[in-house]
Structure 1
């Protein structure tokens, strides 16, 4: 087991060397990497928006727009079809998802059915599996009333098509801004995620994405004035539209479209040569040029309107025919406004309105602070773990620290290779991995000590220690991996980044423990020919302990039950201080441009906006304030309107460092996913432990874990710490850690149950806990050191996240002893259910020397 062939040695160090080569570009700037030879790796870990600044915007296609457009199209098709078939009709209308028309002459009813039948023909679904979609169903009662119903399947098909088309339009618009590496992707059936790193002006991005940019050229109706049309009724062929001026000016516009934006081939911002004002120059394709020329020739002297998204940009009078296929749009533009309009027109129109349902914007200053705080916490946490391990294990601690350094390098290289996005919670995942990574080494080292105490030579003890620790390490880490995987699939944004980092860390930890640490120990043995454990191993202080944990199990169990009841009572009566992730609303972090942030002035100014409850508090230092705004009753659009008003009120005196806006639709989904995430992870872990152990162990582990979750939730209730998405990540991490700890103790209990068939269960459990006490304490201390560094130096953004995990580690350690153990007694676990094959049978009720504490 301790023999390593040359090719194995080469493979181990080749993996480490390649990992280092892949990871090293992350230590250099992009400018420095440009000077590197082309054959060297240049790829770096992508920094999340919380580390480099930028905007994350989730857009939703409005289903009502799709239904309305389809309804209007079907109404138009019915009108045209019946007229072409010379079928007389009346009462043609559309409402909801139904179009109805009454055939005046029932003798023409069959002719009407035959004429309208093509409207119900299925269309190609456009999927890889083929298939077709029926968009319209037709029915009539025989009395002449025909109804055409838009199917849900057809609307969903149109929704899917609209999302695909919208992604391309959004991509063209974002690319026109000149941003680097934007991420634009579909989420679900009606959502689009847009992430733009380093964006300095998120308001401009939202303005570009919010407009459908449907451009039309239509004639102004001169038969009556707009005022008369408002006071009476406009003609059936015209409608009232308003200009973009303030105050808006009404126009009576013909519904007939002369030329649409689909015929545009180019649009550029320029300046009017006479007035020098910003304008947008446009150019039509040949078809559009022909239509435009014909319309202007026939309507010289009449005004025509240029309309964008049902708003009149300008309405000039046609002085002479425009036959060149090009023209200008003027409308009191600013230079930026003309540029943005040109971008919209070049990118094309959206098929439906996109509503911003979630926005998370981080300024570059906040990102720089997060990187600095994250690195500081990482270095301090790593130093704490290194010193701790050397202090307790001496030379073995040095070997563990070398493996830990390789572990971190491998995590960074894997994240670089898979193109993962490193977020602030992701950095927290790396720091947590450093704290938990030594657990595998501690398990191996303590197993080696057990074997040495039983009288085995050191070489055999080391070999046996690695073999006996393997199953325990796998079981312990798989439970953490399950929690991380559930977190990835049901989480979003930074939470998924944390899950990825934690998952990669679990895998690399197992690899380094059983390859690098074992190789280093084999080399040490071969060169020193050591016969005894190094004197630096100081964990023998735990050997003299023979604590009777189960003697007070009833009292501790009762106290834990009371604490859980209090926590549940507080949860029911007081509830959690839910963040915007779960109840909607907005969070704004602002920094005063001069002096300190005036909280009372901020509250007074925002209270005048009538946007609901406003909370303002200091954040970090006196120059920065964190503002919370309650969810708006008007839905997603109301959230954006409220944020616009807040920005307008404060931007003169404050810089906006961070903005988070979550609409009601997203907050409801996040609540559901969070609940499912915790339940799914517990269920998956229950199944795994049941398979690996027995049902008593599985149920005991889950109850102990539920104890930890309930008490951690109680911490949130008691302290009023905001409960948000990162809090869910903290709870699932606590789940993973607690189960890790419980599985290690259970594994030793299972081993002892096979050896001591008649020993009283409380005594056996005490022996097992004492045997693993050194590992429990040391792993808990290293994890707490890493988390404490995160809490003290990681910055305000993840302070609540790490506080919850600190508490969770403590209660997780407690529950693995005082909850998980007594539950086995309560379930009347019997030793005879275990197969003793391959195990040494001891005298009944008498532990061997190796089993003694």
Structure 2
């Protein structure tokens, strides 16, 4: 129990630094600017679900990148054939390769080196040998040219890097403050834009390839002809229903554009985009317009004709205008796209989430209120259980909360609504260490130990249990961090930080305060009473006597849960099934039948409506539409228009569009995290205890999880990523609870070696039963305010966790022990049979 002065100074320094690091979160922006030099860290960054904004995940189209490279390769090979006066028809695309077929061996020998020279080096392999991005093979009179994996990988990397810069320039063009644009994995880009909630504008800005080119219009070809001649493409209009027959040959590439600006035509006052070429582009533009006076000239963007004006006179200044049925906003977006340049490959928006600022501010308010309510409830409970010693525990909890927020600020982590839930739950779980310590001190005092000895032995005995319990919880949260995404990962970070800090505050700071209290009051004996007086003696209830009833009821509930899993099944959220989700609010009560009728008239598939907030808010969910991302944008806009017509004055608080790629990955990652968590916990308990303890914990855990799945199926609460977080948190808590019981059993096995195992299990459970109940009540006290007032985003976490804590506590008391007893007796019977069979023993 001795603590050096240096350790005390370190504790004080950490505490002061934590308080100073938290202070910026309580200062206004003006105060933060004024005291910037004195503040060690910046305030915690709020996630988009708390401050509003848009979150998108874009994926580089690998197939489009491959196709573009093959088309370029085909054009280059045909140019090489043309230079050798050979037929360009000899080269053609065949699947993922370009084949060149020539009957003349001499011609084949002449063209092969030129084809090989088209290979672009994509890196350095070995001793300075440049690798090629194409593979050239000759078989008879055919040359086959394909792309190498190394080349494709290098091109993908370059495309993502180039796309990052282009997206950053596009976002800067429209003036979004503090955007977050970063690479995710090998082929994805994450874009978070605070305060911007218009999905249509975002899709136009980020999803357009913006490959612009200028082509002559072939007036001799009917644009409605089914089979246009070679060298002519039939392209649709971007802003009208017309079709245009344009020459395939690019007259001027969009790469020659020097600038583009949105403006208005002074004669008609319609929005236009003015553009200018560089010097080479200006010369080309002058030559074309000089030779093609009186002919239409098409301006093409991403395979659609923006406009096809007739050239009235030569344009020698290198400047022009794009006009059409533009709105002012569309003209601004188009000019931004042209200024920032074309993307090297198409980008697909595979996940999109937008949150309005009103919903964000409501989430902050609810998070603060529920957090304070949970903290106060836990503190009142500790005071009721331990009176003056509870004050010390509450100071430890306060320091735990301060340090958790301080570390989040130091790490630059983003605080989301699930992150607030993680802090609140962390407070409840941090109480567990204090309950264990106080329970151990009470036991040592009851055995006749003096004040300092009771304190010393109590902390030492509680320490191992606290470490084992927290490690098992950390396993689940670590896997949640590794396999989770977005807000769920934020929840995992806050939980991990909270668990580590709770060990520091409980084992060091709380211990030091309790020691000082004993010393300064010159206590001979530590008496830890509750507010109701002296704590009664340990109960002597026989839990093993009713083990068959307990296991039977547990098995019945788990089997029923499995049945519920198949019918009616889980209500999978948009995270797992993909689709479109829109939340709208109104000042008056909503007419849901009118909303449903309006949405069903769109013929977008099954419509799911959920009203809340006393009927003033509605959540609309539509299945993902067939086709690409453009179809999702059309469907989203149609949904918003229909809701706006059915609900006059409606405001859209949240929109989500999740594609099948991301939903399949999220589902796979979530269930993989649950499975790996159970395996990791199995091996840890096996290592720390014995094999039958590990199997007992896993069997009990499976029973707990099945009941929780049954709860989701019965209540039809959305089963999404937040629900996976609840399952993993339950795994950690449930095993934590079992570890406390098993740790006491292991201790008693060493102390009472001749006691029948069933009696030893009963005695062990009776010794820790109050701790299990008190910890569960503390966690429920922190969870209930969140469940009742936390709102829809945390509902799939809070209510299942309330149910899960109750299930985990009862299973620790009534189920874990009987399973352990069965396994122990089965093993002893097996050993007895082996010992009684010399023939079997000889084999083994």
Above 0.5 in TM-score? yes
* Paired position in structure 2 for 1:788: 784
Q: How far 1:317 sits from its partner (Å)? A: 2.9
Name the structure 2 match of 1:744: 740
**2:354 paired residue number:** 361
Counterpart contact for 2:122–2:150, Cα < 8 Å:
no
| Offset, 1:322 | 2.7
Whether 2:225 is the aligned partner of 1:231: answer yes
1:463 aligns with 2:456: yes
1:500-551 deviation per Cα after TM superposition (whole angstroms, max 9, x unaligned)? 1100000110000011101111221221112232464469545241111111
**1:669 matched residue in structure 2:** 665
Instruction: Give 1:199 deviation, angstroms.
Output: 1.3
> 2:640 corresponds to which residue?
647
Structure 2 counterpart of 1:586: 580
Structure-2 residue corresponding to 1:732: 728
Match of 1:48 in 2: 47
Contact 1:23/1:412 (<8 A) preserved? yes
Q: Is the 8 A contact 2:538 2:766 kept in 1?
A: no
Structure 1 residue 734: deviation in Å? 0.4
Match of 2:565 among 566, 571, 574: 571
Post-superposition offset of 1:442: 0.9
After superposition, the Cα gap between the structure-2 partners of 1:43 and 1:728, relative to the gap in structure 1 and judged at 3 Å, is same
Determine if the alignment matches structure 1 residue 297 to structure 2 residue 290. Answer: yes
1:639 is displaced (CA, Å) by: 3.3
Rate the CA distance shift 1:579–1:128 in 2: closer, same or farther, 3 A: farther
1:553-607 Cα distance to aligned partner (Å, 9 max, x none): 1221122122212211222343211111111112211112x52221111111111
Tell which deviates more after alignment, 407-416 or 638-647.
Answer: 638-647
**8 A contact 1:355–1:637 mirrored in 2:** no
Give the C-alpha shift of residue 232 in structure 1.
Answer: 6.6
Q: Does 1:764 align with 2:763?
A: no
Runs of at least 5 residues in structure 1 that lack an aligned partner in the other structure: 833-853
1:518 and 2:516 are equivalent in the alignment: no
> In the alignment, is the contact (CA less than 8 A) between 1:758 and 1:831 conserved in 2?
no
Other-structure match for 1:489: 482
Give the structure 1 partner of residue 691 of structure 2.
695
Deviates more, 1:374-383 or 1:96-105: 96-105
Q: Distance in 1 between matches of 2:680 and 2:78?
A: 58
1:13 and 2:12 correspond:
yes
- Following TM superposition, by how much is the alpha carbon of 1:791 offset from its aligned partner in structure 2, in angstroms? 0.9
Of residues 216, 220, 224 in structure 1, which corresponds to 2:217? 220
Distance (Å, rounded) in 1 between the aligned partners of 2:412 and 2:505: 22
Alignment pair present for 1:411 and 2:407: no
What is the aligned counterpart of 1:434 among 427, 437, 440? Answer: 427
CA gap of 1:632–1:318, structure 2 versus 1, over 3 A, is closer
Alignment match of 2:794 (pick from 777, 793, 798):
798
Give 2:29's aligned residue: 30
Q: Is contact 1:25–1:41 with CA below 8 Å preserved after alignment?
A: no
**Counterparts of 1:677 and 1:565, CA distance in 2:** 23
1:379-390, aligned counterparts within 5 Å?
379-390=372-383
CA contact (8 A) 1:58 1:358 kept: yes
How far 1:42 sits from its partner (Å)? 5.8
* Alignment check: 8 A CA contact 1:589 1:625 kept: yes
Query: For residue 547 of structure 1, what is the aligned residue in structure 2?
Result: 541
CA distance in 2, matches of 1:128, 1:37: 52
1:735: Cα distance to partner?
0.4
**Which residue of structure 1 lines up, in the alignment, with residue 521 of structure 2?**
528
Query: How far off is 1:821 after superposition?
Result: 1.4
Segment of structure 1 superposing worse, 325-334 or 5-14: 325-334
Structure 2 CA distance, aligned partners of 1:818 and 1:322? Answer: 89
Corresponding position of 1:116: 115
**Does structure 2 retain, via aligned residues, the 8 Å contact 1:696–1:829?**
no
CA distance in 2, matches of 1:204, 1:753: 68
**TM-score of the superposed pair, with normalisation by structure 1:** 0.93
Contact 1:89–1:101 (CA<8 Å) still a contact in 2? no
Distance 1:229 1:493 in 2: 48
Shift of 1:245: 3.1
Q: Please name the residue that 1:137 is paired with.
A: 135
Match status 1:809 vs 2:808: no
1:94 correspondence with 2:87: no
More displaced 10-residue stretch of structure 1: 160-169 or 272-281: 272-281
Alpha-carbon distance in structure 2 between the residues aligned to 1:147 and 1:558: 69
SS in structure 2 opposite 1:772? helix
Distance 1:174 1:542 in 2: 67
Shift of 1:812: 0.7
Q: Shift of residue 829 of structure 1?
A: 7.1
Are 2:238 and 1:240 equivalent residues in the alignment? no
Q: Map Cα deviations across residues 481-503 of structure 1 (whole Å, 9 max, x no partner).
A: 11100000101111111101100
For the residue of structure 2 that corresponds to 1:357, the secondary structure is strand
Matched, 1:155 2:148: no
Distance 1:698 1:162 in 2: 49
Match of 2:281 among 275, 288, 293: 288
Larger mean Cα displacement after TM superposition, 657-666 or 62-71:
62-71
User: Taking structure 2 as the reference length, what is the TM-score of the superposition?
Assistant: 0.94
Which position in structure 2 is the counterpart of 1:72? 71
| 3-state SS in 2 of match to 1:245 | coil
Is the deviation greater in 322-331 or in 691-700?
322-331
Deviates more, 1:36-45 or 1:125-134: 125-134
Aligned equivalents of 2:190 and 2:7: distance in 1? 45
Decide which moves more: 197-206 or 269-278: 269-278
| Residue ranges of structure 2 left out of the alignment (5+ in a row) | 829-844
For residue 101 of structure 2, give the secondary structure of its aligned residue in structure 1: strand
How has the CA–CA distance of structure 1 residues 631 and 202 changed in structure 2, closer, same or farther, with 3 Å as cutoff?
closer
Whether the 8 Å contact between 1:757 and 1:831 is mirrored in structure 2 is no
The offset of 1:231, in angstroms, is: 3.0
Distance in 1 of aligned mates of 2:735 and 2:314: 80
Q: What's the counterpart of residue 475 of structure 1?
A: 468
Maintained 8 Å contact 2:58/2:347 = yes
Please list the CA deviations of residues 412-460 of structure 1 after superposition, one character each: whole Å capped at 9, or x if unmatched: 0011111111111111111111111111111111111111111111111
CA distance in 1, matches of 2:226, 2:811: 77
Instruction: For 1:499 and 1:269, locate their aligned partners in 2 and report how far apart those are by CA, in whole Å.
Output: 45
Match of residue 838 from structure 2: none
1:722 to 713, 718, 725: 718
* Counterpart Cα distance in 1 of 2:366 and 2:359: 10
Which residue of 194, 199, 204 corresponds with 2:201? 204
How far has the Cα of 1:308 moved from its partner? 1.4
C-alpha deviation, 1:275, in angstroms: 3.6
Deviation at 1:139, TM superposition (A): 3.1
Shift of 1:361: 0.9
Deviation at 1:310, TM superposition (A): 1.8
Q: 1:602 to 1:114 in 2, by over 3 A?
A: same
- Any idea what SS the aligned residue of 1:634 has? coil
Alignment of 1:618 with 2:614, yes or no, is no
Residue 259 and residue 128 in structure 1: after superposition, are their counterparts in 2 closer, same or farther (change >3 A)? farther
Could you tell me how far apart the structure 1 residues matched to 2:338 and 2:624 are?
34
CA positional deviation for 1:180: 2.0
Change in Cα spacing, 1:131 to 1:738, as seen in structure 2 (3 Å) is farther
Pick from 120, 143, 146 the counterpart of residue 146 of structure 1: 143
Q: Distance in 1 between matches of 2:703 and 2:432?
A: 23
C-alpha displacement at 1:68, in angstroms?
Answer: 1.9
SS at the partner of 1:43? coil
Shift of 1:624: 0.8
CA 1:761–1:124 in 2, change beyond 3 Å: closer, same or farther? same
